[in-house]
A and B are shown apart, each in its own frame.
Chain A
């Protein structure tokens, strides 16, 4: 326990506050599903070894992904947070304060995906159908709806073709559920 605290002290005292903030925001970005944080980004500005970088990344990730940290209340903070150096605590606090909305969103999404299939987004194309194999002249709008859903295993596209009535039904059902 003591060693780890010291190690953390060692790691994080090498960093000045500006780079620390950069590192924290990069970590938040990755949690939000954007570009990954790489060691190469910080090799020039910090004197970390790759191993130290990995430890630092792990610690920050653990902290930022812990919902308890997001309350920003001192009583609730986990031990890990308390063990870190004071400057880092301050940096984390300001970072979380700014990015709290994003982090909560990302965590909710992650949690939802873990527990079941989740609709992430949708894409649509509206087409004007002139006829089908059974009717020579149909002339009806048809919506191709792609529901982009993700579960714990994979991301996939649910492709639906809806006419006007079916689309109304779907929207009503979703609105009812959404309250």
Chain B
């Protein structure tokens, strides 16, 4: 049985049970381990049962867990006797049968995943990948909706809202002092809400650092004018500007002043000329100067651009003219060459003109000589050529017949070789692939060194079983023979008894002694029959005794005593729990 236990424990470890090293047989499994092993097996066989691997402390919950496990096992097709007691008060034999059944039921396809090491690191990696994939499946949220998680540590979910704080240090005099002593509120009272305090301080600080000082009267002037103009002129001046900020405010101030001063002066406003006005006038003149400059530069730009255009047109015209002139020049050069050659010929003819006839004769002689030479050369050429051509033709005819046959053979061979090569290359490639595959599979394979030992043992067991079978067959044949013997003997006995009975019965009528003998025979026969039945009964009782002994063994193997103790302890606990629950109920009711 130890080997079976080893196999069971090994496969339980593979599916992730936390079995300690010193547990070597099923007898040492405690309740927690039994429940964990069963739950893990069930989880793999039928995922989604959702049973916890931890045994609860509450007795009632324990019984419920045991009952659900038993039901799941019987639903899977376990035929043996199973109930909550199988898990809670386990006997070794039952447990072995159950676990063997469950391990056989484990799906074979998932062998790969089972072979993977289920160490803590692998589990952690799986958790990480799970978390990442779940994060990726989440929809996008703006930053202020994220409240949990490492990334958002140190961020507040408060909105950034600020008000202008009054922490002014400007101004001297009794009035200011009075104000600061009596009426200025502390900054905690200046904000409408606690949430405003820190943002307001931050903003105030930033403003103090980056503020550019502007004249207060200037700003007032602008505001005043703008209000007046809003009342008189209906249309909004800045409706085009969508975003106005405190950065743009200063800029606008300068530009708008120009606008409104001009408007106001046109409509003869009542506003008297003040110091502020003179400031605006200076800014006005600056603006004007700038604009004048801009106009000047623009006009200059325009004139320059027109100049540039004209010049470009000129350049184009000139370049086209240049190409035309080039063409004419080339033509003229050609003409010059032609005319020069003609002139040379003419000059020669003029040289020859004085002795015309002689020269003509000379020329004719020359022409004739050259013609003769040509004919000579042609005949010579013919003489040389003919044999060579014939030779060439012969050779060609010879070689063509020879070479073609051999070359064709060679070509065929080459083709065959090519095909073979291709096949071989493919084969080698396939083999390489197989090799790499197998190499990759090697580390995945479970490194079980005792595999051969197992097979040897299995073979031995099979041999043993075969021997035992032979012996059993022999015994069976023996018993059959004995049965036959018994049957024949009883038949013979019966027959000899009847023969003896008849014989003695015949004699008994006349002979007194034989009558006695007949009586004795009858009693002997009945006594013997009784003896036989007694022997048979003894055999039956012996068999019964053997059965009972086996039963006793099996019962004692179930360590009933210990289980009984545990059951009684659990019963006590349950009673206590029910008592406390009753007490609670009563206290609630009262």
Q: Do A and B come from one complex?
A: yes
- Could you list which residues of chain A lie within 8 angstroms of chain B, going by C-beta atoms? 18, 21-22, 25, 29, 32-35, 67-68, 70-71, 94, 97-102, 104-108, 111-112, 115-123, 125, 144, 146, 148-149, 157, 159, 174-175, 177-179
The answer for the CA separation of A102 and B171 in the assembled complex, in Å, is 13
The answer for the CA separation of A148 and B190 in the assembled complex, in Å, is 20
The answer for the CA separation of A2 and B175 in the assembled complex, in Å, is 33
Counting CB contacts under 8 A, is B448 at the interface?
A: no
A178–B251 contact, CB under 8 A? yes
Given contacts A21-B183, A177-B251, A179-B251, contact A101 B170 (CB under 8 A): yes
Of A101, A121, A123, A159, chain B has the most CB atoms within 10 Å of the CB of A121
The residue from B162, B192, B223 contacting A111, defined by CB atoms under 8 A apart = B223
User: B296 → chain A, closest Cβ, in Å?
Assistant: 23
A98–B179 contact, CB under 8 A? yes
B192–A178 contact, CB under 8 A? no
The answer for the CA separation of A68 and B271 in the assembled complex, in Å, is 11
User: B403 → chain A, closest Cβ, in Å?
Assistant: 65
The residue from A104, A112, A179 contacting B216, defined by CB atoms under 8 A apart = A104
- Beyond A33-B164, A35-B192, A116-B243, 9 additional pairs, beta carbon < 8 A: A21-B183, A25-B183, A25-B184, A29-B190, A32-B163, A33-B163, A34-B190, A118-B245, A175-B247
Counting CB contacts under 8 A, is B189 at the interface?
A: yes
By a CB distance below 8 angstroms, the chain A residues around B356 are none
Counting CB contacts under 8 A, is B549 at the interface?
A: no
Counting CB contacts under 8 A, is B414 at the interface?
A: no
Of chain B, the residue at the smallest CB distance from A122 is B160
Ranked nearest first, the 3 interchain pairs of A and B with the lowest CB-CB distance are: A123-B160, A119-B245, A178-B247
The answer for the CA separation of A33 and B203 in the assembled complex, in Å, is 15
B164–A106 contact, CB under 8 A? yes
The answer for the CA separation of A107 and B222 in the assembled complex, in Å, is 11
Counting CB contacts under 8 A, is B226 at the interface?
A: yes
The majority secondary structure among interface residues of chain A is helix
User: B270 → chain A, closest Cβ, in Å?
Assistant: 10
B183–A22 contact, CB under 8 A? yes
Give the interface segment out of B234-242, B430-438, B474-482, B551-559: B234-242
Of chain A, the residue at the smallest CB distance from B174 is A94
B227–A67 contact, CB under 8 A? yes
Counting CB contacts under 8 A, is B220 at the interface?
A: yes
B203–A121 contact, CB under 8 A? yes
Of chain A, the residue at the smallest CB distance from B241 is A116
A159–B142 contact, CB under 8 A? yes
Of chain A, the residue at the smallest CB distance from B252 is A112
Counting CB contacts under 8 A, is B182 at the interface?
A: yes
Of chain B, the residue at the smallest CB distance from A36 is B192
| B interface bracket (residues with beta carbon within 8 Å of A) | 35 or more
The answer for the CA separation of A177 and B179 in the assembled complex, in Å, is 37
The answer for the CA separation of A102 and B223 in the assembled complex, in Å, is 14
Given contacts A21-B183, A34-B192, A111-B226, contact A118 B244 (CB under 8 A): yes
B251–A67 contact, CB under 8 A? no
The answer for the CA separation of A22 and B251 in the assembled complex, in Å, is 36
Of chain B, the residue at the smallest CB distance from A68 is B224
Of residues 237 through 269 on chain B, the ones whose CB sits less than 8 Å from some CB of chain A are 237-239, 241-251, 254
Q: Could you give 27 example pairs across A and B, Cβ below 8 Å?
A: A25-B183, A25-B184, A32-B164, A68-B224, A71-B217, A100-B216, A102-B168, A106-B164, A108-B249, A111-B223, A111-B227, A112-B244, A112-B249, A115-B237, A116-B241, A117-B243, A119-B244, A119-B246, A119-B247, A121-B160, A121-B199, A122-B160, A123-B199, A148-B160, A148-B161, A157-B159, A179-B250
A107–B185 contact, CB under 8 A? no
By a CB distance below 8 angstroms, the chain A residues around B246 are 118-119
A98–B224 contact, CB under 8 A? no
Counting CB contacts under 8 A, is B519 at the interface?
A: no
The answer for the CA separation of A157 and B144 in the assembled complex, in Å, is 12
By a CB distance below 8 angstroms, the chain A residues around B191 are 34
The residue from B199, B244, B245 contacting A115, defined by CB atoms under 8 A apart = B244
The answer for the CA separation of A118 and B238 in the assembled complex, in Å, is 12
Of chain B, the residue at the smallest CB distance from A18 is B182
By a CB distance below 8 angstroms, the chain B residues around A25 are 179, 183-184
By a CB distance below 8 angstroms, the chain B residues around A117 are 242-244
A71–B220 contact, CB under 8 A? yes
The residue from B184, B217, B244 contacting A116, defined by CB atoms under 8 A apart = B244
By a CB distance below 8 angstroms, the chain B residues around A146 are 160
User: B506 → chain A, closest Cβ, in Å?
Assistant: 119
The answer for the CA separation of A117 and B243 in the assembled complex, in Å, is 5
The answer for the CA separation of A25 and B181 in the assembled complex, in Å, is 13
B245–A174 contact, CB under 8 A? yes
A67–B247 contact, CB under 8 A? no
By a CB distance below 8 angstroms, the chain B residues around A33 are 163-164
The residue from A18, A35, A149, A175 contacting B189, defined by CB atoms under 8 A apart = A35
User: A55 → chain B, closest Cβ, in Å?
Assistant: 22
B223–A119 contact, CB under 8 A? no
A115–B236 contact, CB under 8 A? yes
By a CB distance below 8 angstroms, the chain B residues around A108 are 219, 223, 249
By a CB distance below 8 angstroms, the chain B residues around A148 are 160-161
Given contacts A34-B192, A105-B164, A116-B242, contact A177 B223 (CB under 8 A): no
A67–B223 contact, CB under 8 A? yes
Counting CB contacts under 8 A, is B143 at the interface?
A: yes
User: A40 → chain B, closest Cβ, in Å?
Assistant: 15
B175–A94 contact, CB under 8 A? yes
User: A45 → chain B, closest Cβ, in Å?
Assistant: 13
By a CB distance below 8 angstroms, the chain A residues around B185 are 29
The answer for the CA separation of A106 and B86 in the assembled complex, in Å, is 83
User: A124 → chain B, closest Cβ, in Å?
Assistant: 9
Of B191, B227, B241, B244, chain A has the most CB atoms within 10 Å of the CB of B244
The answer for the CA separation of A127 and B164 in the assembled complex, in Å, is 28
The answer for the CA separation of A71 and B226 in the assembled complex, in Å, is 15
B248–A178 contact, CB under 8 A? yes
By a CB distance below 8 angstroms, the chain B residues around A177 are 247-248, 251
Counting CB contacts under 8 A, is B389 at the interface?
A: no
Of chain A, the residue at the smallest CB distance from B190 is A34
Of B159, B246, B254, chain A has the most CB atoms within 10 Å of the CB of B246
Given contacts A104-B223, A121-B160, contact A98 B236 (CB under 8 A): no
By a CB distance below 8 angstroms, the chain B residues around A175 are 247
